[in-house]
Amino acid sequence: MLSTYPAQAVFAAFVTALLILILRRPALRWQLVDHPGGRKRHGAPVPLTGGVSITAGFVCALLASFSAFGEFTPFFAAVLLLTLVGLLDDVGEVSAGTKMLFQLIAALLMTSWASNFLVNLGDLFGTNPINTRNWGIPLTLFAALAVINAMNMLDGLDGLAGGLAFMMLAFFGAFAWTLGDMNSAKILIVLLGAVAGFLFFNLPWSLRGRHRTFMGDAGSMVLGFAIAWFAVSLTQRGGNAVSPPVMLWVLGIVLMDVFTVTVRRLARRRSPMAPDRDHIHHVLLRRGFGPGKTLVILIGANAILGMIGTTMWRQGVPDWWIFWSFLAVCVAYFAAFFMPLRYYRLRSRIGVPDEYERDS
């Protein structure tokens, strides 16, 4: 019943928020916390219980509906796997290589068990739709791993990764509803509720009091995987589907930031996974924007990009125009932010409140 959707979303938010409060002391006892020091600017240990709380709230709210989600069994299996691996990584029990291996396993569950992979990329050159043929699964695996790790990289400012994930999942929920895919819509709406419950304790505002919480790898990997899953599934369903290049617009800030940062690191002969402070939110903070303004700018920019892509699709704009116009935006972004230290260094050092910024 449609009337149960908002009720289950509210329940997911309630369970998520309740677990964040309940797990606060055990997290400090079990060292499931993010310690300050080095590149990490927060002043005290912060619990990393947001991710496991999101998953628990999400799953609990859907327990009564699982019989209707047979086609999503691989999705839930992958979510639980990534939550467990992320939780172990948050307490320091998993190496980077092992974490990447389990991300690959989750992506394989998506492509090879659920048969959810890229088959059609759209008519990107104004000739014919591009069929991936034998490259469909490898391309989807690469894209899924890229999105999962991009969400982790952007988890460097309170509310940013969760806020961007909320925005993207909201677009996906609207797409699923428009396409008449009620199972996907329900999963997305309930997941939005769980993310909202987490954001209450992660946004940089006074309402959270002293209960500041991070999502940790358990949260960023699950949300990144969910974004990758629905970005693919909603575009690969024959004629009744979202135009594939629209998803580039919906994931705009995430894709542009991870590409720019990766190229910059490679240009400096560093590992693409090496942390630094050159993400877009770091650049804006160095320009003097506060954490709250930076958050509004980036989430607002991503919402505008998503609306532009969605509007073009709904107005029947050809795939090739949607694709190449996004690449034009990417070129402008890349030109502006490729070397932020060179172009955006302030004359005097501006202090950023330690309470809200951390490394990614």
Look up residue 206 and give its two tokens: 């006074």
298-348 pLDDT per residue, tens? 999 999 999 999 999 999 999 999 999 999 999 999 888 765 545 444 433
Q: Does the residue 117 lie in any domain?
A: yes
| pLDDT for res 208 | 84
**Continuous H helices in 154-215:** 160-179, 182-199
Q: Does the residue 351 lie in any domain?
A: no
Please report where in the chains the tokens 């999962």 appear, as a residue: 148
Given a cut of 50, whether residue 349 has pLDDT beyond it is no
Q: Does the residue 85 lie in any domain?
A: yes
28-59 pLDDT per residue, tens? 888 899 876 445 555 578 999 999 999 999 99
In angstroms, what CA-CA distances link 51 with 23, 133, 134, 162, 223?
12, 36, 35, 10, 9
Q: Say how far apart CA 266 and CA 263 lie, in whole Å.
A: 5
Given a cut of 50, whether residue 233 has pLDDT beyond it is yes
243-289 pLDDT per residue, tens? 999 999 999 999 999 888 888 888 778 877 777 777 888 888 888 88
213, 198 contact by CB (below 8 A) = yes
Look up residue 245 and give its two tokens: 């290049």
Q: Does the residue 29 lie in any domain?
A: yes
Q: Does the residue 360 lie in any domain?
A: no
Q: How does the average pLDDT of the chain come out, rounded? A: 89
- Residues β-bridged to residue 131: 120
User: In terms of residue numbers, what domain contains 55?
Assistant: 4-343
Residues in contact with 111: Cβ distance below 8 Å, sequence separation at least 6, in sequence order: 117, 136, 137, 140, 141, 144
- pLDDT above 70 covers a percentage of the chain that reads 90
Given a cut of 90, whether residue 151 has pLDDT beyond it is yes
Lowest mean pLDDT among 73-77, 162-166, 220-224, 349-353: 349-353
81, 107 contact by CB (below 8 A) = no
60-87 pLDDT per residue, tens? 999 978 878 889 999 999 999 999 999 9
Q: Does the residue 350 lie in any domain?
A: no
42, 156 contact by CB (below 8 A) = no
| pLDDT for res 334 | 87
Q: Does the residue 357 lie in any domain?
A: no
Mean pLDDT of 169-189: 96
- Total of domains in the chain: 1
Given a cut of 70, whether residue 17 has pLDDT beyond it is yes
Overall pTM surpassing 0.85 (yes/no): yes
Q: Does the residue 33 lie in any domain?
A: yes
